[in-house]
């Protein structure tokens, strides 16, 4: 027997389909929305529709933006000779929060995963190669250290190196606060190989 009527169930179902939202959270969110004043709900729905209609890929780096160029690509103070390749816009945002990287980005919107039927043509690699025809000195590959991320990194490296462009890979290893006994062997090996002099 359903606890709630049709509209409530539909709202809970739609919210529960969002990534990272479980059934309990979807239920709490649904009742929160229902209890909001009508004008706040209208504003929220209008913002969602407007974002869906206006957000597109930056014509330079392929991140999500509602402008022709994203704020990073439009910034002439950034080093446009250095491109960091990331899997998604959230990864770009994570690096931006460090405040240390001064180059620009390229967002792939995925990673090569033959097991999931995702090949090089299914991510934004063609757009990356087109950008390399300009004056680029270094490509920093910052894909995840998963099997798919590593596969993508190797593929990009083999694609770019013949052009004489410097290709680097972000270091990976033991997280701050991590106990060595809980770290897998591949991560420990990476940490060892990427060691620096103190």
Measuring CA to CA, which residue among 173, 164, 182, 109 is closest to residue 145?
A: 173
Q: How far apart are CA 37 and CA 124, in angstroms?
A: 42
Angstrom CA distances, 140 to 21, 27, 103, 104, 137, stand at 33, 42, 10, 10, 10
pLDDT confidence of residue 125: 95
Contact 138, 82 (CB under 8 A): yes
Contact 55, 70 (CB under 8 A): no
Per-residue tens of pLDDT for the chain, all 198 residues: 467 778 999 999 999 999 999 999 999 999 999 999 999 999 999 999 999 999 999 999 999 999 999 999 999 999 999 999 999 999 999 999 988 899 999 999 999 999 999 999 999 999 999 999 889 999 999 998 888 998 999 999 999 988 889 999 887 776 777 666 777 777 777 777 776 665
- Nearest-angstrom CA–CA distance, 87 and 90: 8
pTM metric for this prediction:
0.81
CATH 3.40.1360.10 fits 76-169, yes or no: yes
- The pLDDT value given to residue 188: 74
Classify 15 as helix, strand or coil. helix
Distance CA 8, CA 167 (A): 52
pLDDT at 197: 61
For residue 48, CA distances in Å to 41, 45, 102 come to 11, 5, 31
Burial class (CB in 10 A: 0-12, 13-18, 19+), 99: exposed
| Sequence ranges of the domains in the chain | 1-38, 76-169
Nearest alpha-carbon partner for 78 in 97, 40, 57, 104: 104
CA pair distance 119, 52, nearest whole angstrom: 26
The residue with tokens 């250290």 is: 145
Architecture in CATH for domain 1-38: Orthogonal Bundle (1.10)
């Amino acid at each position: 027997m359903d606890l709630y009527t049709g509209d409530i169930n539909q709202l809970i179902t739609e919210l529960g389909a969002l990534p990272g939202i479980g059934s309990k959270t979807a239920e709490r969110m649904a009742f929160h929305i229902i209890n909001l004043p009508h004008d706040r709900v209208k504003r929220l729905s209008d913002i969602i529709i407007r974002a869906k209609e206006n957000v597109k890929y930056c014509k330079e780096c392929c991140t999500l933006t509602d402008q022709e160029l994203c704020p990073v690509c439009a910034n002439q103070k950034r080093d446009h000779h250095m491109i960091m390749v990331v899997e998604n816009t959230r990864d770009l945002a994570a690096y931006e929060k460090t405040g240390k990287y001064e180059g620009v980005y390229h967002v792939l919107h995925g990673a090569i995963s033959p097991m999931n039927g995702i090949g090089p043509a299914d991510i934004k690699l063609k757009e990356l190669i087109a950008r390399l025809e300009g004056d680029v000195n270094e490509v920093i590959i910052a894909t995840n250290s998963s099997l798919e991320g590593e596969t993508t990194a190797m593929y990009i490296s083999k694609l770019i190196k013949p052009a004489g462009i410097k290709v680097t890979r972000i270091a990976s290893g033991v997280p701050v606060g991590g106990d060595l006994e809980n770290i897998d062997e591949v991560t420990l090996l990476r940490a060892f190989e990427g060691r620096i002099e103190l």
